[in-house]
A = this chain, B = another copy of it.
Amino acid sequence: MENLSSNKSFGGWHKQYSHVSKSLNCTMRFAIYLPPQASNGQEVPVLYWLSGLTCTDENFMQKAGAHRIAAELGIAIVAPDTSPRGDDVADDEGYDLGKGAGFYVNATQAPWNRHYHMYDYIVNELPALIESTFPVSNKRAISGHSMGGHGALMITLRNPERYLSVSAFSPISNPSNCPWGKKAFTAYLGEDSAAWRHYDTSILMRDAKDKIPGLVDQGLADDFLTEQLKPELLEAAAKANDYPLEVRLHEGYDHSYYFIASFIEDHLRFHGGYLNG
């Protein structure tokens, strides 16, 4: 593992690393924010942040304004990249498929199945690396935005024993049923939508048995609201299965990081209640 950068931030440290990922069969970069408590020999819990389409590890760390509250609460934040990377990694001309658009699934279809195993990377490989390298505990929470909101919710529903809480901003709630999701799932998983069900939050939520607390924020001026995001389907699924998910709708807010920054404090305090509880 190679340390690429270090910046002191709110008394803690923002650091970028590169490492060779076995799951993804390529070199990956991630960022970690270590709060001041981690420098004092304390094992801190970790919030994983999954970003949206076109993002890298940098967007959230630079734009969300999350370090301030993470420093206060003593929570580390890990921001992985959104797809495998490198010259030999398959790609597509669209911003919504290929690099920057891994959708947090394990691809089964060529050419994507050679590298696109973001599900394994996020669920297993990256946490194992983080927990064996940094002064962190195995208390985990997970959150994300848009494609990453889908990832955070879907991963929690399939691995409830691994996370204490989950949240999302503007998640793709029902990828089997929107243009972004249909395009990506067809490419990565094939045309048979039976394979898609294992990666679809609104479907998984209806059958979930082990339930962990969830918080979702959605802006009502989001350009992708009705065609791609469809929070009403997520709410209906949660209600049908009595899932403890709070969905909050916010007048005037869009899909940008200005929306995330406006409400990230609520999410960090929500997760802190479980991570530090």
Contact = CB atoms under 8 A, between A and B. Distances in A.
Interface stretch (A2-10, A88-96, A142-150, A155-163): A2-10
A277 interface: no
A67 B258 contact: yes
B221 A8 contact: yes
A8 B67 contact: no
Number of copies of this protein chain within its complex: 2
Contacts of A14: 258
Contacts of A63: 62-63
Interface in A45-79: 62-63, 65, 67-68
Interface stretch (A100-108, A116-124, A225-233, A248-256): A248-256
Interface of A: 7-11, 14, 62-63, 65, 67-68, 219, 221, 252-254, 256-259, 261-262
A253 B262 CA distance: 25
Interface SS of chain A: mixed
Contact of A65 (B65, B219, B252): B65
Contacts of A262: 8-11, 67
Nearest to A68: B65
B259 A8 contact: yes
Nearest to A256: B7
A67 B256 CA distance: 14
Contacts of A252: 8
A62 B254 contact: no
Given A62-B62, A63-B63, A258 B7 contact: yes
A258 B8 contact: yes
Contact of A253 (B8, B67, B254): B8
A219 B10 CA distance: 12
Given A62-B62, A63-B62, A63-B63, A259 B7 contact: yes
Contacts of A256: 7
Nearest to A33: B258
27 contacts: A7-B254, A7-B258, A7-B259, A8-B221, A8-B252, A8-B253, A8-B254, A8-B258, A8-B259, A8-B262, A9-B258, A9-B261, A9-B262, A10-B261, A10-B262, A11-B262, A14-B258, A62-B62, A62-B63, A62-B257, A63-B63, A65-B65, A65-B261, A67-B258, A67-B261, A67-B262, A68-B261
A12 to B, nearest CB: 9
Given A8-B258, A62-B63, A65-B261, 17 more contacts: A7-B254, A7-B256, A7-B258, A7-B259, A8-B219, A8-B221, A8-B253, A8-B254, A8-B259, A8-B262, A9-B258, A9-B259, A10-B261, A62-B257, A67-B258, A67-B261, A67-B262
